[in-house]
């Protein structure tokens, strides 16, 4: 087993094709095929399923791929520690984000990587916090934005934002950001909310129990785009942060009102695993995310309170 075999494994797995990997790596296809075959023979497992349209990583191949990505990241770190700190980095990094954060932060993050580290490969994984936490522990992603990971005990954390949640309605609902709505009044609305167990729903159910009210949930949908579409169509109201509906608010297709007594909030946290070094590319991503969030809060696009700037925060263990 050698580095060239692991590098070939990574590129073929990403592109799903030996010919595409050959074009990218500028290595003859038979040579790449031989590297994969030798690696499979040494490990005694089949890493890819071959078919007419390309190659698909097997389940055992996925396990090997995770370790290969980690090894290549460590090699890149060795180069980084002896290179100019301001020099562009190479390598691969995977960043996980909840859907609401991904919709807002993906474009600024990609732009920052393109400008600062153009030879690096960035993978953005959008999923709910529970999945992201599992993938973070398994090494499938290098860092993740999580909402209130209270059960996690093996994370380096950087609190980013205490995010305010708003009551969101269609354009003709009469909601206004200048007119707060008491949280207890939610029982008077037809609510469209994520399902029980979803992080946002857990916050609202807890606050409803404390306020001794019953939430009148007519439709459950875990997709924020589905919730927004249903609200626009007049099927009810929902509770969301302002950032993912900023464009709809500007166009007037949705409107929002702050909730008070109490104000529903949730914490947004940049998280890294403690069982392995944090790649410099992952740290760079965290810095970009923190700066972007701070800018969006200052511009009034993301409503909340900035907690700790990523560039200033020292790692904390949760």
The predicted structure's pLDDT at residue 140: 85
Asked whether residue 221 is domain-assigned, the answer is yes
Looking at the fold, whether 147 and 117 belong to one and the same domain comes out as yes
Write down the pLDDT at residue 85. Answer: 62
Rounded distance between C-alpha atoms, residue 150 and residue 158, angstroms = 13
Task: Give me the mean pLDDT over the 231-246 stretch.
Answer: 91
Q: For residue 202, is it within any domain?
A: yes
C-beta separation of 120 from 80 below 8 A: no
Q: Are residues 156 and 115 in the same domain?
A: yes
Contacts of 49 (CB under 8 A, 6+ apart): 55, 56, 57, 58
Do 176 and 247 share a domain, yes or no? Answer: yes
Per-residue DSSP letter, 165: P
Higher pLDDT, 152 or 127: 127
Residue 313 lies in a domain: yes
Segment (H or E) for 10 = helix 3-15
Question: In the listed set 244, 263, 282, which residue is the last one of a domain according to the structure?
Answer: 263
Q: Is residue 227 part of a domain?
A: yes
SS3 2: coil
Q: For 128-161, what is each residue's pLDDT tens digit?
A: 888 888 888 778 899 999 987 665 556 788 899 9
CATH number of the domain within which 23 lies: 1.10.10.10
Does 129 lie in the same domain as 276? yes
Would you call the peptide bond into 262 cis, given omega within 30 degrees of 0 as the criterion?
yes
If one counts every other C-beta atom within 10 angstroms of the C-beta of residue 87, the result is 10
Answer yes or no: do 258 and 282 share one domain. Answer: no
Give the residue among 196, 193, 129 at the shortest CA–CA distance from 165.
193
The pLDDT tens digits of the residues spanning 24-48 come to: 788 899 999 999 999 999 999 999 9
Check: CB of residue 240 under 8 Å from CB of residue 99: no
Asked, for residue 255, whether it belongs to a domain, the answer is yes
Higher pLDDT: 80 or 73? It is 73
139 and 171 in a single domain? The answer is no
Clarify whether residues 59 and 99 are in a common domain.
no
Cβ-based neighbour number of residue 43 at 10 Å: 14
Whether 150 and 290 share a structural domain: yes
Q: What is the mean pLDDT of residues 190-219?
A: 91
pLDDT in tens, 267-294: 999 998 876 778 889 999 999 999 999 9
The answer to whether 167 touches 257, Cβ cutoff 8 Å, is yes
Q: What is the per-residue pLDDT for 81?
A: 67
**Rg of the chain over all Cα atoms, to the nearest angstrom:** 23
Q: How far apart are the first and last CA of the chain?
A: 37
Work out how many domains the chain is built from and give that number. 3
**CATH number of the domain bearing residue 229:** 3.40.190.10
Asked whether residue 74 is assigned to any structural domain, the reply reads no
Claim to verify: residue 187 and residue 218 sit in the same structural domain: yes
Q: Six-digit token pair at 151?
A: 């059960």
Residue 206 predicted with pLDDT over 80: yes
**What local confidence, expressed as pLDDT, does residue 301 receive?**
86
Structure-token pair, residue 111: 């732009």
Say if 76 falls within a structural domain: no
Confidence of residue 312 (pLDDT cuts 50, 70, 90): very low
pLDDT higher than threshold 60 for residue 315: no
pLDDT at 24: 79
Among 315, 283, 281, which Cα is nearest to 155's? 315
The confidence band for 317, taking pLDDT boundaries of 50, 70 and 90, is very low
**258 and 295 fall within a common domain:** no
- The CA distance from 224 to 201, in Å, is 12
- 147 and 291 fall within a common domain: yes
Is residue 27 within 8 Å of residue 85, measured between CB atoms?
A: no
- Mean pLDDT for the chain overall: 87
Whether residue 202 is found in the same domain as residue 144: no
Residue 244's pLDDT band (cuts 50, 70, 90): confident
Confidence band for 80, pLDDT divided at 50, 70 and 90: low
Whether 137 is covered by a domain: the verdict is yes
pLDDT value, residue 82: 66
Containing domain of residue 241, as a range? Answer: 166-263
């Amino acid at each position: 087993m050698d580095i060239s075999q692991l590098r070939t494994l990574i590129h073929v797995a990403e592109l799903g094709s030996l010919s595409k990997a050959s074009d990218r790596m500028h290595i003859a296809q038979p040579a790449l095929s031989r590297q994969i075959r030798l690696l499979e023979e040494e490990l005694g497992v089949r890493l890819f399923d071959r078919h007419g349209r390309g190659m698909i990583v097997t389940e055992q191949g996925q396990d090997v791929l995770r370790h290969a990505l980690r090894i290549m990241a460590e090699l890149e770190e060795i180069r980084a520690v002896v290179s100019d700190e301001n020099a562009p980095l190479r390598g691969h990094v995977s960043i996980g984000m909840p859907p609401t954060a991904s919709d807002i932060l993906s474009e600024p993050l990609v732009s920052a990587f393109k400008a600062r580290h153009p030879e690096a490969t960035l993978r953005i994984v959008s999923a709910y916090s529970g999945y992201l936490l599992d993938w973070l522990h398994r090494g499938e992603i290098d860092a993740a934005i999580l909402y209130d990971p209270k059960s996690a005990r093996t994370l380096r954390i950087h609190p980013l934002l205490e995010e305010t949640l708003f009551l969101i309605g269609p354009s003709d609902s009469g909601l206004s950001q200048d007119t707060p709505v008491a949280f207890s009044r939610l029982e008077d609305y037809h609510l469209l909310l994520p399902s029980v167990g979803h992080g946002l729903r857990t916050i609202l159910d807890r606050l409803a129990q404390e306020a001794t009210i019953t939430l009148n949930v007519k439709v459950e949908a875990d997709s924020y785009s589905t919730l927004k579409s249903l609200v626009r169509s007049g099927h009810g109201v929902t509770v969301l942060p302002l950032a993912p509906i900023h464009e709809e608010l500007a166009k007037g297709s949705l409107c929002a009102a702050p909730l008070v007594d109490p104000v529903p909030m949730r914490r947004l946290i940049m998280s890294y695993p403690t069982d392995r070094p944090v790649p410099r590319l992952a740290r760079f991503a965290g810095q970009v995310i923190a700066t972007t969030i701070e800018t969006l809060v200052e511009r009034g696009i993301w409503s909340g309170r900035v907690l700790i700037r990523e560039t200033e925060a020292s790692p904390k263990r949760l």
